[in-house]
Chains A and B, each alone.
Chain A
Amino acid sequence: MSLAERVLRGDPRAAARLISMAEDGDPAARGEMETLYPHTGRAYIVGVTGPPGSGKSTLVDQLTERWRQEGKKIGIVAVDPSSPFTGGAILADRIRMQRHGTDEGVFIRSMASRGQMGGLARASYDAVQVLDAFGCEMILLETVGVGQDEVDIVRTADTVLVLAVPGLGDSVQVLKAGIMEIADIFVVGKADLEGADQVGRDLAALQEIEGGGRQGWMPPVIKVEGLSGSGVPELLRVIGEHREYMARSVEGEVRKRRRLETHLEQLLAGELMEQALESLRRSGKWEEALARLGRRDCDPYRLAQELAEQILVSPPSP
């Protein structure tokens, strides 16, 4: 039985192995992902992002607990940064989700950013696809939201939660502009701490300035206290409202389409580059181009254009 077939039958080890293969860029993963694709598109994806220490994992734990009570199967992909120097990572998000560790209805996967340009977005998208086909009805995608990659990841979610907490100085400024634009719901975590109300007001104010052009869904601000769980039932209700909104609105359709489009663009760009570079290197044209650049014989923009035209006119043979 192939890995994909085992995933469809609910074998967690097969799902774990396939996620690794996809993450590693293993060519053997492609055939498996192809088999799975028709079985995806059912899971609802909730992105959770915010500064380090804002309580994302605790919130994910709380949401999971409630959804489990409703009998839903949950997938969690928790992304942590890799060291840019060693390429290694310590992935500790599971610590906040202990109680779900042995629940077979919850699949938790920790993922490191690995420093590859755009690679993280691709790998996490694949992990979500696998968990979708595996049978997870809700998938929580948790990232730190500091880099473009992380913003890209969270964009692929159906509903994006952005967390802010009191006590981080001017915590609202910590949120990158890109994240402000993609938030569907603002969550003020650690609402029992002093300053929580102010953070709520800051978010609302900033939203008026930055999100002014936004139509349709206006992101509400919800206060939660992660450890006691207060505010979580309301948050769940609002997530439900957003889900309904996405299902019946044009915005929902647009976002779905854009997600597919972005993903396909990324994959296509990767494929084209790989094939083009290989062909140019093999034919010696790449070296020739570099030599011309070195001699100042031709400028790089013109050269890139020429090379692209050549490739398109006579595509590389397999």
Chain B
Amino acid sequence: MPARKIRVVIAKAGLDGHDRGAKVVARALRDAGMEVIYTGLHQTPEQVVAAAAQEDADAIGLSVLSGAHRYLFSRISELLKDRGMEDVLLFGGGIIPREDMVFLQEIGVKAVFTPGASTGEIVDFVRRTVADRSGERP
């Protein structure tokens, strides 16, 4: 059986329209051999989670530059819980102030990559964390 492919949903939620960062991450994950479902701009949390469900995603990477991260991440986290999808790795990037990191961690965001993070770091993180969790998959 060929090695399982890691599938990641990369999404931009809310009103912010700056997607260069998300695209850079998407390309880096692709170059690392992963399948990236790139959902584009202005996604609602409902759309993001629906995509992750249908695409059997291992992870969701959400980019937020608009300041609405607390709401968006909590809503996604809530929806994942409601749908029994807590095994999906949730991580984020964009403009997220340090003081909100603890809050995000508490609601289930496993990592946040702010400007300056290297794509190598992000790729390694996803690979490592998904591999760890794959024993837990239903």
Contact = CB atoms under 8 A, between A and B. Distances in A.
Interface stretch (A22-30, A45-53, A251-259): A22-30
Given A13-B83, A101-B51, A88 B1 contact: no
Interface stretch (B36-44, B92-100, B113-121): B36-44
B48 to A, nearest CB: 9
A110 B55 contact: yes
Contact of A109 (B34, B54, B138): B54
Size bin of chain B's contact surface? 20 to 34
A24 B6 CA distance: 11
B35 A89 contact: yes
A110 B39 CA distance: 11
Interface string B1-40: 1101101000000000000000000110111111111111
Contacts, number: 90
B138 A91 contact: no
Interface in B44-102: 44, 46-47, 50-51, 53-56, 83-85
Contacts of A92: 37-38, 40
Contacts of B4: 24, 26
A102 B33 contact: no
A19 B33 contact: no
Interface residues of A, number: 33
Interface of A: 12-13, 15-17, 19-20, 23-27, 82-83, 86-92, 94-95, 98, 101-102, 107-110, 112, 114, 116
22 contacts: A16-B54, A24-B2, A25-B1, A26-B1, A86-B32, A88-B33, A89-B30, A90-B38, A92-B38, A94-B37, A94-B40, A94-B51, A98-B40, A98-B47, A101-B43, A101-B50, A101-B51, A102-B47, A108-B54, A112-B5, A114-B5, A116-B2
Interface of B: 1-2, 4-5, 7, 26-27, 29-40, 43-44, 46-47, 50-51, 53-56, 83-85, 138
